[in-house]
Structure 1
């Protein structure tokens, strides 16, 4: 692969074996330590609060941009989760409109909303994906340096470019 085509200021820079052992370009080292993960006083799924130990890790200084993600997709042929229609066999009885390639798009509210009901400010929109951030008819013109959106955890895995998502605090 020709790594020179991929911007160096992104998670999609050259794999670790192709970089210096010194500080990676456009990355910052997060020191190891401990922190309290979770909450005993907010959403039930955040409980229990517990101390987590983390090893030091490197992370990009800035979010992955649309331009960098485009380079990654062009180099690898990756198709994002939002671009794939769900497998109907995995969702028996699902309504047909729920089985289209789609992603959640922010919808401005008219005022304060019940924060326990995310559907008041998110809308599942067919055709919304990283290339079409607001759904069909939208595009990335003028948004090359904006953070990429509609990227799922599976899309963000960086092993294909020699990196990895920090795993030490997964629960």
Structure 2
């Protein structure tokens, strides 16, 4: 069993790890021209302590040093973008996602049927399988669909795809600082959106792995794969599933060294990085591996990469008019 604080990324392999070159981000589709849609929450501006330096920090992720950050107010989606919402986007634009363009995406092996043909696995994370035909419409590849998962978060979407959706919706992706500030829900330097205890009163507050990773998930929280976007109580700002369920794309490039010199006011991330930042962990995260389901945890993936546990939510500037 991997040691806690493992630097290996159990949850979000990049497309290049399967032997394919990561392309640069393509241009997004035209924005819809509308103001931010309903279903958003206004997060008031303020200052908070960003990052962590505790024993659960993953070496190489760059969670520290803890530093003060001041943010202007902004709007953020109450929930991750759902399959139903993403379907509306694809029908309106005809967009072809990166997974569809490449013809494959990464699927967690435990979600595949026992007789599924052998496919290439990621060397250091063999539970990730390269599945041809896997995309947001077919999360486990041919023969699967999202007909009964309309209210679950869309997955197999790249940073390119998420940015395109945000532009169409008249929004944008949140910065890492905005995401963490919103995820904390008004609490200072706590591990989770509700406090420091993983399961307060033995109550499950998020969708993560229970049992032994990666071979046995008891699904004690009620879910083996994704859960609905409104599952579990919201945090102090009214936001659902800021930890667990699916990783969420942020606007920033990711650099482990960024916090050492990042601006104190409205940081936007470094000009370049190892990949695009992802936050929040997913249904595959487990304390025995990396505990990246904490609000301060950081990771990254290539902008054209997609997996079965990677989604997003949108943000928007705070304007006098606000969302309609």
Other-structure match for 2:160: 154
Q: Which has the larger radius of gyration?
A: 1
Q: Greater share of helix residues, 1 or 2?
A: 1
Other-structure match for 2:107: 105
* Pair 1:84 & 2:101 matched: yes
User: RMSD over aligned Cα, in angstroms?
Assistant: 2.8
Distance 1:64 1:168, change over 3 A: closer
Other-structure match for 1:8: none
The answer to whether the 8 Å contact 2:89/2:168 transfers is: no
Instruction: Classify the secondary structure of the residue corresponding to 2:110.
Output: coil
Deviations 1:78-137 (A, max 9, x none): 11111112xxxxxxxxxxxxxxx211112239xxxxxxx762332221111000000112
Other-structure match for 1:27: 40
Q: TM-score, normalised by structure 2?
A: 0.36
Q: How many residues align?
A: 132
Distance 1:129 1:38, change over 3 A: farther
Report the CA distance between 1:160 and its aligned residue: 1.9
Distance 1:152 1:121, change over 3 A: same
Deviations 1:133-164 (A, max 9, x none): 00112112211121111111111111122111
Other-structure match for 1:44: 60
Distance 1:55 1:120, change over 3 A: farther
Distance 1:48 1:132, change over 3 A: same
Unaligned ranges ≥5, structure 1:
1-11, 86-100, 110-116
User: In structure 2, how many angstroms separate the alpha carbons of the residues matched to 1:74 and 1:122?
Assistant: 29
User: In structure 2, how many angstroms separate the alpha carbons of the residues matched to 1:26 and 1:14?
Assistant: 17
The answer to whether the 8 Å contact 1:55/1:168 transfers is: no
Q: TM-score, normalised by structure 1?
A: 0.64
Other-structure match for 2:84: 67
User: Of the two structures, which has the highest relative contact order with CA contacts closer than 8 Å and spacing of 6 or more?
Assistant: 2
User: In structure 2, how many angstroms separate the alpha carbons of the residues matched to 1:120 and 1:149?
Assistant: 20
Distance 1:74 1:104, change over 3 A: same
User: In structure 1, how many angstroms separate the alpha carbons of the residues matched to 2:52 and 2:72?
Assistant: 19
